[in-house]
Amino acid sequence: MKTQGLHILLAALIVIPSIVNLSVSLYNRKLPELFGMPFFYWFQTVWLALCSGFYIGFAHLMDGRVKKQEGEQTLNK
Amino acid sequence: MTTTTTTTTTITIGLDSIVPFVGLFILFIVLGFYGKYWRRGDLNNVHEWALAGRKLGTALVFFLIGADIYTAYSFVAIPSGVFAKGSLYFFAIPYVALTFGVALVTMPRLWSLSKQKGYITASDFIKDRFGSTTLGILIAITGIVSLLPYIALQIVGMQSVLTVMLSGTSNPQTVEEISLLIAFVILAAFTYTSGLRGATLTAVFKDILIWITVIALIVIVPLSISGGFGTAFKDVKPTYVTLPNSLLAGYSTLVLGSALALYLYPHAINGVLSSESAHKLRMSTALLPLYGVGLAIMALMGILVYAVPSAMNFLSHFPESSRGILVVPSLILYTMPRWFSGIALLGIFIGGLVPAAIMAMSQASLLTRNIIKEIKPNMSAKSEIRITKISSTIFKFIALGFVFTIPATYAISLQLLGGILIVQILPAVFFGLYIKSLRKEPLIAGLLVGIFSGIFLVEYTNHFGALTSSLFNTTIFGSLYIAVIALVFNLIISFGGSAIMNRKERLAVIQNKK
């Protein structure tokens, strides 16, 4: 049960940023501007940093999962 | 100040820029050769030469793979595209954001398998996974061919720096060609002796210079425009502010196709496999989208340059088709202090040189291990490494020859063709990692259909002439990146064919039992 929840969370951390990156009509607009830069440009740039946040979350959770699996394997031996 | 720059046609570079440029280039050479002694290993061993002994930690893998992003693609192809066509070429930013998500799902698994079974290339994995030498060789050939235009693009980037530096001198063409040749001989010499270690050390050096340049660009260029970004964006055409509706599908397929392609390139896989552990690989991959911020800044230069009259005046001396590639170097020359121009221009120059080295090394590994060794299996380890080193040198000079014969704008479009080719190995490499039911025969057929339909669509779109577009206009979905269309054909054949074969086999087993 718990692992299933973890799998959904892991998938979400990759799928959510991917959907945003591919949904161009979400960010294809001029306003609001930031320092005179159209939304189209600044949003995509800021979103990069946020993607990194999602991915760091994914990397941490995966590491935890791998360590747990390795722990179980040594126990089974 | 402005009057002097408009009356004198071009700035001729003085000693105050040349000294930092040459001085740092010498430091670069020293680092390249020193790589041999750094974290010593037996360089007569392919693992040691090509993968730096699989000992690179989070930071170094970050820099090494980052070196694949901050290439001439970032400071030549993308700003040039934005300069010429506007917002469409900003696709590089979501592409970079997406590609590391793809990498996080696929690469740690490839790393673990490779560590376990001693793979050095994707082709090693495929040959073992599907038990097919043919598929392994086809994948190696695809990798080698798709990298040739990518290396050529790096050289175009180096050329653009030299063009800007040498403008105003008499006989710039000859000086440029000689300088490039010298740079390549030096590069070939240190990759021959130091392998990936030399490339990694110089990659760190290069990235430090590039980051300094990027930060300087984003601070200095908007400040040199009165009104900053607001003015720059007010004066350009609407297609430079947002995307026209007709290009929405083209934009997202360019993002998708490029994001799927990056981690299939042999040099990217090479970088991944040199990581010390799956954990470190995950961490550095998760941080890599941050590199894209620098790329976004470079891309914006393609728009900001329109508001810098001195740089625009300089560009007007060149034919229209080659102005784009000179955008970033000329902004550096016309907005920054002279001594700093030297540093920044060198950053961009080695920003083409280092990736070219990494790419040629991965081509050489593929050629030796996955093609020559298949034909001559009883090759000794010693001759294997010798052939790898020699062929990596040859590949560099093939790419150089390419650049001397093909005009610059052409080379940039060829890079998009490289993406169309390499993405066709996706069904075998990515899905092969997770899906057991895939079979080698349909994968071979899918790969061939993908490659030939991709090439055909590119030729058809460009009316069998010079390559200017990689978007194919479909009647139902609008313009789409050809890599994605060809990949769909490939996937249908690979999965459809495998399903049919597996079904037939199951039926045969059942009948035999009866």
What pLDDT shows up at residue B40? 62
Mutate to test the interface with B, among A14, A25, A48, A50 (most CBs of B within 10 A): A48
Decide if B286 and A58 are in contact by the 8 Å CB cutoff: yes
| Residue B448 near residue B460, CB atoms below 8 Å | no
pLDDT of res. B134: 92
A to B CB pairs, distance under 8 Å: 117
Whether B351 contacts B72, CB under 8 Å: yes
pLDDT band at residue B4, thresholds of 50, 70 and 90?
very low
Task: Using CA coordinates, name the residue in chain B closest to A20.
Answer: B94
Amino acid identity at B443: L
Residue A52 and residue B286: Cβ atoms within 8 Å?
yes
Neighbours of B56 (CB within 10 A): 27
Instruction: Concatenate the DSSP letters of all residues of B150-215 into one string.
Output: HHHHHHHHHHHHHHHHHTTSSSHHHHHHHHHHHHHHHHHHHHHHHHHHHHHHHHHHHHHHHHHHHH
Distance CA B91, CA B295 (A): 11
**Cβ neighbour number for residue B215 with a 10 Å cutoff:** 12
pLDDT number for residue B110: 93
> Is pLDDT at B6 greater than 50 in this prediction?
no
Q: What ipTM goes with this model? A: 0.89
**A29 interfaces chain B, CB cutoff of 8 Å:** yes
Determine the distance in angstroms separating the CA of A12 from the nearest CA of chain B, rounded to an integer: 11
Q: What is the pLDDT of residue A45?
A: 92
d(CA B345, CA B368) in angstroms, rounded, equals 35
pLDDT in the model for residue A54: 94
Q: Which two tokens stand for residue A39?
A: 């939304």
Is A28 an 8 Å CB contact of chain B? yes
Q: How far apart are CA B431 and CA A75, in angstroms?
A: 31
CB contact under 8 A, B93 and A48: yes
Identify whether the C-beta of residue B428 lies closer than 8 Å to the C-beta of residue B438.
yes
Hey, are the CB atoms on A49 and B94 less than 8 Å from each other?
no
Per-residue pLDDT tens digits for B138-185: 999 999 999 988 888 888 888 888 888 887 776 777 777 888 888 888
Domain ranges of chain B: 2-513
Least Cα distance to B89 among B236, B243, B294 occurs for B243
Percent of all residues in chain B with a pLDDT value above 90, rounded to a whole number: 23
The reported pLDDT for the residue numbered B409 is 61
Probe site for chain A from B65, B96, B98 (most A CB atoms < 10 A): B98
Return the residue of B nearest to A56 by Cα.
B286
Is residue B128 over pLDDT 50? yes
**Mean pLDDT in chain B?**
83
CB proximity A9 to B under 8 Å: no
Predicted confidence (pLDDT) at residue B7 exceeds the cutoff of 50: no
Q: Does A45 touch chain B (CB under 8 A)?
A: yes
CA dihedral B404, B183, B46, B153 (to 10 degrees): -40
Tell me which chain B residue has its CA closest to the CA of residue A21.
Answer: B94
Q: Do B248 and A37 touch (CB under 8 A)?
A: no
**pLDDT, tens digit, for every residue of A25-39?**
888 888 898 888 899
Whether B489 shows a pLDDT value over 90: the answer reads: yes
Mutate to test the interface with B, among A19, A43, A45 (most CBs of B within 10 A): A45
For strands B471-474 and B478-481, give the pairing: antiparallel
- pLDDT tens for each residue of A16-68: 999 988 888 888 888 898 888 899 999 999 999 999 999 999 999 888 877 77
Q: Domain residues of chain A, as ranges?
A: 2-76
Assigned fold of B2-513: Sodium/glucose cotransporter (1.20.1730)
A54 contact residues in B (CB cutoff 8 A): 101
Among B172, B154, B155, which Cα is nearest to B10's?
B172
Residues ≥6 apart with Cβ < 8 Å to B497: B439, B441, B442, B445, B446
- Cβ distance B243 to A47 less than 8 Å, yes or no, reads no
